């Protein structure tokens, strides 16, 4: 039987996924059993009030180990990362945080004989030579971004620790994640979140990729469900470990705008592609996630229209209270 996670450390807990994941984990595992950490960004009041929070730097192993010892941590969910767009502006920082940070986490997990690590990967592992449609689980991994390079190397490193040391490490290739709580920080898929905020605020959005750009996406409740479900899966049934393809929906920016227009008919989008267009063009249109479905029962719940309805309800309610951005 797979052992349960008892004392969980979340790195990157102030980020887009980390902030909502931490709250979901606190509900499930008990608030005092989920230690949230961030590097610089101020945590929300909800995150601070709902359980322990500390500032650490994953590139400095001592700062992580202090938390591991203080709270008797047995599992780490390592969300701290520099994403694709910021990574292209500062590739050295991207390498340092994503690779040295990951290495530090893996080594600490070995040293403290941890039960489990969950280490996210991304569709950024793909690149030229990868089939664009229904991208297979096993395929060409030749990314053109530093973020993608660190994610491919990270997957390989995690699988090495599984095979060589018997460490329980699991990971998912997240698509673009769309959410209404915390804004994403520095990714290429950020347009798919910004568009909803601007639709509610200004009925207009200038998109930094072209109208026909199509990428795999997922709504936050599905992302949280996937992360927790993989974390609780029976390790002995997993054939893959750190590199599960994960899909939910795929759409072009034009299709996304049309979905929003069903609720806000006057909404308009114009297009001014920048350097992020090339990154988006190097990633798949859609993902074959049959390994995740077969090995641990992955099944998404939201499609484009159900997500749009929920996003617009949440953001419109906040906008009416003058608190769109929190």
Asked if 220 contacts 17 with a C-beta cutoff of 8 angstroms, the reply is yes
Which parts of this chain interact with ligand AKB (CB under 6 A)? 83-84, 122-124, 147, 174, 176, 187-189
Q: How far is the CB of 51 from ligand AKB (least distance, A)?
A: 26
Q: How far apart (Å, rounded) are the C-alpha atoms in residues 10 and 53?
A: 10
Give the span between the Cα atoms of 204 and 318, in whole angstroms: 18
Nearer to ligand AKB, 5 or 83 (CB): 83
Q: Minimal CB distance to ligand AKB: which residue?
A: 187
> Catalytic site residue 271?
no
User: Which is closer to ligand AKB, CB of 68 or CB of 119?
Assistant: 119
Element (H, E) at 204: strand 204-207
Query: How many other C-beta atoms can be found within 10 angstroms of the C-beta atom of residue 8?
Result: 25
* Smallest gap from residue 150 Cβ to ligand AKB (A): 11
Residues 6+ apart with CB under 8 A from 81: 12, 97, 98, 101, 120, 147, 150
Handedness of CA 312, 318, 321, 324 (dihedral sign): negative
SS3 label, residue 206: strand
Q: How far is the CB of 121 from ligand AKB (least distance, A)?
A: 8
Cβ count within 10 A of residue 269: 20
* Shorter beta-carbon distance to ligand AKB: residue 51 or 171: 171
| CB atoms inside a 10 Å sphere around CB 227 | 23
Q: How far is the CB of 148 from ligand AKB (least distance, A)?
A: 9
* C-alpha 66 chain-centroid distance: 25
Closer residue to ligand AKB, CB minimum distance, 122 or 308: 122
Residue 6 CB, shortest distance to ligand AKB, in Å, is 29
For 40, which DSSP code?
A: S
Our CB check for ligand AKB shows the closer of 88 and 168 to be: 88
- Residue 70 exposure: Cα atoms within 13 Å on the Cβ side: 13
Q: Pick the catalytic residue: 29, 147, 196, 197?
A: 147
Return the active site residues.
147
């Amino acid at each position: 039987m797979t052992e349960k996670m008892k004392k969980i450390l979340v790195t990157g807990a102030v980020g887009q996924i980390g902030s909502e994941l931490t709250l979901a984990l606190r509900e499930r595992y008990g608030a005092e059993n989920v230690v949230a950490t961030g590097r610089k960004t101020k945590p929300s009041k909800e995150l601070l009030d709902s359980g322990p929070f500390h500032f650490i730097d994953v590139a400095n192993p001592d700062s992580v180990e202090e938390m591991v010892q203080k709270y008797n941590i047995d599992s780490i969910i390592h969300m701290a990362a520099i994403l694709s767009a910021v990574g292209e502006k500062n590739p050295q920082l991207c390498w340092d945080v994503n690779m040295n940070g990951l290495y530090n986490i893996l080594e600490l997990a070995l040293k403290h004989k941890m039960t489990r690590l969950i280490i996210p990967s991304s569709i950024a592992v793909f690149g030229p030579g990868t089939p664009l449609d229904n991208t297979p689980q096993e395929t060409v991994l030749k990314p053109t971004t530093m973020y993608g390079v660190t994610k491919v190397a990270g997957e390989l490193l995690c699988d090495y620790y599984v095979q060589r040391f018997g460490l329980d490490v699991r990971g998912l290739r997240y698509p673009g994640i769309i959410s209404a709580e915390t804004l994403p920080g520095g990714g290429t898929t950020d347009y798919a979140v910004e568009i909803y905020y601007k639709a509610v605020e200004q009925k207009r959005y200038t998109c930094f990729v072209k109208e026909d750009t199509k990428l795999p996406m997922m709504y936050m409740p599905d992302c949280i469900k996937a992360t927790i479900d993989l974390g609780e899966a029976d390790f002995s049934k997993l054939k893959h470990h750190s590199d599960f393809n994960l899909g939910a929906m795929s759409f072009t920016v034009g299709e996304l705008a049309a979905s929003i227009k069903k609720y806000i008919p006057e909404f308009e989008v114009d297009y001014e592609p920048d350097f992020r267009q090339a990154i988006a063009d190097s990633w798949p249109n859609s993902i074959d996630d049959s390994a995740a479905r077969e090995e641990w029962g992955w099944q998404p719940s939201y499609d484009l229209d159900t997500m749009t309805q929920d996003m617009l309800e949440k953001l419109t309610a906040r906008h009416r209270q003058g608190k769109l951005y929190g």
